[in-house]
Amino acid sequence: MENQTRITALLGIQYPILQGPMGGGFSNAALLAAVSNAGGLGSYGAYTLTPEQILAADREVKTKTSKPYNINLWVSDVDKSLESFPPEKLEKVKQLFKPYFDSLSIPLPDLDTNIPSKFLKQVEAVFEARPAVFSFIFGIPSKDILDEARRLGIKTVGSATTLDEAIALEQAGVDAIVASGFEAGGHRPSFLKPAPDSLTGTFALVQHLKARIKTPIIAAGGIADGAGIRAALTLGADAAQIGTAFLVTDESSATPAHRSTLLSDESRYTVLSKSLTGRMGRMIRNRVTEEVSYGTEVLPFPLHSRFMGPLREAALAQGRTELSIFWSGQNAVNLKPGTTAEFMQSLIDEAFTE
């Protein structure tokens, strides 16, 4: 199969293989650089970082690679419902989750509902860093931001979970669109309709987009090997994005417990839940996801994530994996540990060597 596509030409990379921009501490310069140096596009999920941290991370990246790479942000990083969230509801949710905190012998955290968005300040840092690619999820940046990216020579990549979202991104003039299937690990980045109403599978979504839009398409969700890349390209995608499989590489920032769970039979059981962060995401099932149904009201994002943060940290420290959050896509059945360079070479060999 030919390794030159519209995406390789657009982004200046050798192979149409993108590393998913995993945020929340899962990205690091070593993993990004290993992917970019192997001819793919390494990515840095920066939505939790301050502008100063983004610039520091970028400086480290530049010491490890001179190849193109991507920095990813969340356009909507604070739920609108947080502005007027009633104190009595806050207390009700805290009491619902109190038994989990009690089981780890830790107190309920004090919470401040005043959480401003970081996005606009983060964008300024990205523009100062000037990566080859600026990708974003949970919405579309303003025309001014997209125009400035274009002026600086930065390619823009939006993420769509439905055809309607892809059409909106194309109308805004982004350079490429990630078709984010519901098999993908991590948060569902839906922005036109609620995430539960935007659950199209990767390969169906790629074909929806291929039939209606002209913008280059990047398939994401459930792709973990060269065969998956070939399948995505055969169906009309211009590149494939892989996330979960990179979590078990040597350069990954995933914890030992996360790695071992991904490499165990438990990785077969992923669920879509909002009970750990406040927004729907795909993870390996745990006690909280099993006991707190999706319909249960939780705190708005990122307040709920901050609320559950001490629980996640304590669970990890105490070895209580049943209360830990282990992000994973649906296809984690044949993951193999090793270096990122080795994994990239296996992807290239499987996908592009006849």
- The answer to whether the CB of 262 falls within 8 A of the CB of 221 is no
Q: Which tens digit of pLDDT belongs to each residue from 226-262?
A: 999 999 999 999 999 999 999 999 999 999 999 999 9
Q: Collect the ranges in the chain with pLDDT lower than 70.
A: 354
- Report which of 204, 201, 160 is spatially closest to residue 181, judged by C-alpha positions: 201
Domains detected in the chain: 1-78+116-251+339-354 (3.20.20.70), 81-114+263-335 (no CATH)
- Report which of 111, 112, 110, 108 is spatially closest to residue 314, judged by C-alpha positions: 108
Q: What is the DSSP letter of 126?
A: H
Q: Which tens digit of pLDDT belongs to each residue from 151-176?
A: 999 999 999 999 999 999 999 999 99
- How far is CA 123 from each of CA 16, 67, 114, rounded to the nearest angstrom? 26, 21, 21
User: Around Cβ 321, how many Cβ atoms within 10 Å?
Assistant: 18
Give residue 354's pLDDT: 66
Indicate yes or no: pTM above 0.85.
yes
The helix (run of H) or strand (run of E) holding residue 321 is: none
Radius of gyration of the chain (CA): 19
Rounded Cα gap, residues 157 and 175, in angstroms: 6
The per-residue pLDDT of the chain, averaged, comes to 97
Give residue 1's pLDDT: 85
Q: Which amino acid is at 103?
A: S
